Amino acid sequence: MLVAFALNASPAMALSLNPDAGSPGIEDANTLHWILFILLVVAIVVVNLAILRAVRPRTRAVTPKKGRRISQTKLVAGLGVFAIALFIVSTVFSDKSREIPVSTETVAGQTEGQPLVIKASGQQWLWRFNYPNHAFSYRRLIVPAGVTVRLDLTSTDVVHGWNVPELTGQVQAIPGRTTPVYFRADEPAVYHSHSSVLSGQGYDTMEIEVEVVEPSEYESRIEELRAQIQEAQDKVEAEFQASREKSDEAKKQYEKTKNQINQDDIESAESE
Amino acid sequence: MSRTTSYPQTMPPTRPEVASEGPKQSNARWIELSTSADHKDIGRILMVSAFGALFLAALELLLVRVQLAVPSNVFLEGVTFDRLLSVYGTTGIFLVALPLLIGLLYYVVPLQIGSRTTALPRIGQIGLWLFLLGGVVLYGSFLFTPPEAGINPLPPFSDSTFNPNNGVDVWITSTGMVVLGLLFITIDLLATLHNLRAPGMAWRRAPLFTWAGAIVGWLFTVIAPIFLAAITMLMLDRIYGGAFFAGDDGGSPILWQHFSYIFFTGVYMAIAVGFLAAIGEIVQTFTGRLLPRHAFIWSLVAIAVIGTLAWTQNMLTVPLDSGWKYFAMLMSYALIVPFGVIFYNLISTVSASDFNMTAPLRYAMGALSLASIGLAAEVAQSTIAVATRLNHTYDAWAATHFALIGFVVFGGFAAVSYWYPKITGVSINEDRARKSFGLMFVGTLIAILPLFAAGVEGQVTDSYRYFSGEGFDTWNLIASIGTLILFVGVVLSIGNFLMSRSEEPKATPDPYRADSLEWLALSPPPPHNFDVLPDVRSARPMRDIREAVTRRDEENAEAEGAAQPVA
């Protein structure tokens, strides 16, 4: 057991105890996790060493010293003080980790002094992101670096788990309810993660990718996205128009043939 | 039955050796057993079923871990994996943990309080049959559609729109019958506890495990109806087009999470309370020292109440008002106090005593060791900023499994091997118990410790495969090998219970010289438990009886000696 703990504490493992901080607040959560990790590992090691000592083979008679057991009141008080101190530390860091400063930069589609609003909607088994300029993307979210983003989480079918440890942590997307999630990506990067609530047969492939790019690139990217969507829409529109025209023509041809046949029938009837 | 008999203060009426065997059985053994309303028969069937289900759960976990041993494995299909995982979790809680705990309490507690029967035996009997039927429904569903929406099927995923096959209906039916059945048994247990205690058995003299019976009983009576109401609503939603949990129809999917987590958190705490109390009895018996009674019992009460109030600890990633999240964090941290008090007292008592290491104490100390890892890791799971990254990952899975395997499997083996001579009338094989304990303990560590690492790397639970290159591979392979060792250990430990019955020598009624009254009865106890009800004068009635018997023998010897003429 101790070997396993030693492994846990070795530098190779320590590097991955926490995700890289990609947004303000994550650093505080990382610090808190470190504090807890050290405290808890110490607690586990102490308790298990005590258990090992308690079950040591008895080679000679144990003569307990009188009054060695500490009083229960002191024990409760000590543990209580420890729990309260831990609660205060955790509250401070948890509060700090939720503070996301408002960005100074502004990108297209963002109101001055307000965060950039992107709508994220989970569905079996994809995430869809709607940008302010009516562009949308699936699976991959594009956000500008240095700009505070408000992600409006919702779901169209079942509960999905939004999960990007480097930026936001986990938040559940509940159908019929919109949950704002705030973050501000520090610098360009690509974060890869996985949805975290079982949602059915395609759950294993329900991945999330967040691509953080420079604000100017963000604008051009979503503009390009919009243009592509527009292009695809135009293409569909054109095809639809063409097929309708085609069917109009066919209809005319049909009417014409039908009339012709009727005419022929009448004529043949008359001739008889 | 007579409860008014009063005996001279120090003189117990009789020794158990002269107790009768009870009325002769007229029917075949299995007919007697299946129509019995005796708490001992019912408790034993519950425990045997729990160990059978433990074998199945271990097998299912092994299959699940084989699938997860290597990335992109094709050993199981996605849907088969989901079904195995759902049935594994449901078995673990509903068919192993709860029946083992309640079966033990139902067997032992009436004996401990010196009662000849339970107060509502037929209620206990219908409870047993509901429970068995629930188990049969869950495993019978392998013939058609087993549940596949997880151990806690969250609506709307578990609604008929997204899970149209009857897997979730099977889950509702079987867990419903199991919980209702165990609730009946619990009600019988509570009625017995409050009405049928032996003369002089005041609450201040009741043994720790009896107190655990009262705490677990009342806790289960509070949480079980909440669960039954929730699954009824889910059934209405599924079959009759209800909208309790429908997000877009005025209902709320979050409501289900509250209901189900109140229940699951309560069950977690009931398990902790019950098995910690059993470990307390074991420690007291084998060390011959008393634990500080008030501190221990009040800690058990605190675990039950505070722990269950912390149910939103499971919902830190759900959009709730943050006040509820801080409340959950406060309650979870508050649990450090009662758990700390209990662990300190148990370990320090063992540490300062002389004893021969035997199977029950060995399993008990293993339980404390594993549970300490799980409970400490739960602290991180309860911390808001950290839980949002660790929830639903293998870190959470590992924390819960350490605590539950510690309490249920190791605590369960500890408690059952402690009362094994009483239940079966034979002693347990120490050598096999030591070896299988070693395998199980090492197996658990290898099977679960690496998953903490996979969890902080970000591997999410419930997914039937993962892909290489994300840092999960090594940890999962180690965990799968450990699960194989754990499986072998569990099979050998169960096998030891079966084999000891035919091989080991008969046990005396009081093999450990313990303090509580169940050791006054024969091993195994006759249907009416006690020929004569003892008169309880202290919290250690069996010690009083032994002392009185010694004194009586001395007096008799003296009297005889006086009567002899000096030659």
What is the pLDDT, as a whole number, of residue A54? 92
Query: How far does A92 lie from chain B, in Å, by closest CA?
Result: 10
Contacts of A32 in chain B (CB under 8 A): 383, 385-386
Helix (H) or strand (E) holding B375: helix B359-381
Nearest chain A residue to B315, by CA: A172
Strands A148-155 and A140-144: unpaired
Give which of A121, A179, A117, A189 is closest to A147, Cα–Cα.
Answer: A117
Q: What pTM does this model have?
A: 0.90
Q: Is B327 exposed, middle or buried (0-12, 13-18, 19+ CB in 10 A)?
A: middle
Beta-bridge partners for B506? B426
Q: At what angle do helices B98-112 and B411-424 cross, to 10 degrees?
A: 50
Nearest CB to A174: which of B161, B254, B336?
B254
Residues B202-243: pLDDT tens digits? 999 999 999 999 999 999 999 999 999 999 999 999 999 888
| Whether the Cβ atoms of residue A198 and residue A223 lie closer than 8 Å to each other | no
Residue B75: both structure tokens together: 């050993």
Report long-range pairs for A118-121 (Cβ below 8 Å, ≥24 apart): A118/A143, A118/A149, A118/A150, A118/A151, A118/A152, A119/A151, A119/A152, A119/A154, A120/A151, A120/A152, A120/A153, A120/A154, A120/A162, A120/A173, A121/A153, A121/A154, A121/A155, A121/A156, A121/A173
CA-based nearest distance B135→chain A, Å: 24
What per-residue confidence (pLDDT) applies to B4? 43
Whether A87 sits inside 8 A of B392 (CB atoms) is no
Whether A54 and chain B come into contact, CB under 8 Å, resolves to: yes
Put the strands of the sheet holding A140-144 in their side by side order: A140-144, A207-213, A189-194
Residues of B in contact with A172 (CB under 8 A): 317-319
Q: Which residue has the tokens 């109401």?
A: B229
Say if the Cβ atoms of A157 and B343 lie within 8 Å.
Answer: no
Structure tokens at A216: 């100017």
Q: Do A76 and B341 touch (CB under 8 A)?
A: yes
Which neighbouring-strand residues pair with A144? A213
Q: Provide CB contacts within 8 A for A223, sequence distance 6+.
A: A108, A133, A135
The answer to whether the Cβ–Cβ distance between A79 and B341 falls below 8 Å is: yes
Tell me the three-class secondary structure of B202-225, residue by residue: CHHHCCHHHHHHHHHHHHHHHHHH
Per-residue pLDDT of chain B (567 residues; tens, 9 = 90+): 444 444 433 434 444 444 455 556 678 888 888 888 999 999 999 999 999 999 999 999 999 999 999 998 999 999 999 999 999 999 999 999 999 999 999 999 999 999 999 999 999 999 999 999 999 999 999 998 999 998 999 988 998 889 998 999 999 999 999 999 999 999 999 999 999 999 999 999 999 999 999 999 999 999 999 999 999 999 999 999 888 998 777 789 999 999 999 999 999 999 999 999 999 999 999 998 999 999 999 999 999 999 999 999 999 999 999 899 999 999 999 999 999 999 999 999 999 888 889 999 999 999 999 999 999 999 999 999 999 999 999 999 999 999 999 999 999 999 999 999 999 999 999 999 999 999 999 999 999 999 999 999 889 999 999 988 888 889 999 999 999 999 999 999 999 999 998 888 888 888 999 999 999 998 899 988 988 888 899 999 999 999 999 999 898 888 877 665 554
- The answer to whether A21 contacts chain B (CB < 8 Å) is no
Contact A129, A117 (CB under 8 A): no
Mean pLDDT of each 10-residue bin along chain A, 272 residues long: 47 64 89 94 96 87 65 93 96 89 80 89 92 91 92 93 92 92 92 92 92 92 92 92 88 87 83 74
Residue B2 DSSP SS3? coil
| Strand-pair partners of B320 | none
Among B160, B317, B335, pick the best mutation site for testing chain A contact (most A Cβ within 10 A): B317
Residues A159, B464: C-beta atoms closer than 8 Å: no
- Residues of A within 8 A of B386 (CB-CB) are 29, 32-33, 36
Q: Tell me the shortest Cα–Cα distance from A111 to chain B, in angstroms.
A: 25
Helix (H, G, I), strand (E, B) or coil at A169: strand
DSSP3 helix / strand / coil % (chain A, rounded to 5): 45, 20, 30
| Chain B residues near residue A79 by CB distance under 8 angstroms | 336-337, 340-341
B377, B384, B392 ranked by CB distance to A161: nearest: B392
Contacts with B469 (C-beta within 8 Å, 6 or more apart), sequence order: none
Interface of A with B in 144-173 (CB under 8 A): 153, 155, 157-159, 161, 163, 165, 168-172
Instruction: State how far residue A11 is from chain B, nearest Cα, in angstroms.
Output: 13
Cβ–Cβ of A79/B336 closer than 8 Å? yes
Q: Does A93 touch chain B (CB under 8 A)?
A: yes
CA angle (B236 as vertex; B233, B238 as ends), nearest 5: 110
Nearest C-alpha of chain B: how many angstroms from A40? 6
Across the A:B interface, residue pairs with CB atoms under 8 Å apart total: 217
Cβ–Cβ gap A197/B392 under 8 Å: yes
* B294 neighbourhood in chain A, CB within 8 Å: 72
- Residue B458 and residue A76: Cβ atoms within 8 Å? no
Between B154, B376, B449, which is nearest A159 by CB? B154
Closest-CA distance of chain A to residue B336, Å:
6
- Whether the bond between B524 and the residue before it is cis, its omega within 30 degrees of 0, is yes
| Strand pairing report for A160-164 and A148-155 | unpaired
Contacts of B275 (CB under 8 A, 6+ apart): B101, B367, B407, B408, B411, B412, B414, B415
Q: Could you give the domains of chain B? A: 31-549 (1.20.210.10)
Shortest alpha-carbon distance between residue B279 and chain A (Å): 14
CA–chain centroid gap for A194, Å, is: 8
- Across the interface, of A53, A83, A98, the residue whose CB is closest to B351 is A53
Instruction: Give pLDDT, residue B9.
Output: 38
Q: Which residues of A touch B379 (CB under 8 A)?
A: 36, 40, 86
**With contact defined as beta carbons under 8 Å apart, do B349 and B283 qualify?**
yes
Chain A residue with Cα closest to B362: A55
- At CA B495, angle to CA B490 and CA B496, rounded to 5? 100
Say if residues B167 and A162 touch (Cβ distance below 8 Å): no
The secondary structure of B282-304 as a DSSP string is HHHHHH-----HHHHHHHHHHHH
Chain A residues with CB under 8 Å of B248 CB are 175-176
Whether B208 and B277 have beta carbons less than 8 Å apart is answered as yes
Burial label, A181 (beta-carbon count in 10 A; 0-12, 13-18, 19+): buried
* B361 vs A contacts (CB less than 8 Å): 55
Q: Which residues of B touch A86 (CB under 8 A)?
A: 333, 336, 379
End-to-end CA distance of chain B: 51
Where do the domains of chain A lie, and which CATH numbers do they carry? 2-54+71-97 (no CATH), 116-224 (2.60.40.420)
pLDDT value, residue A100? 84
Question: CB of B31 within 8 A of CB of B84?
Answer: no
Q: Are B486 and B401 in contact (CB under 8 A)?
A: no
Cβ within 8 Å, pair A86-B379: yes
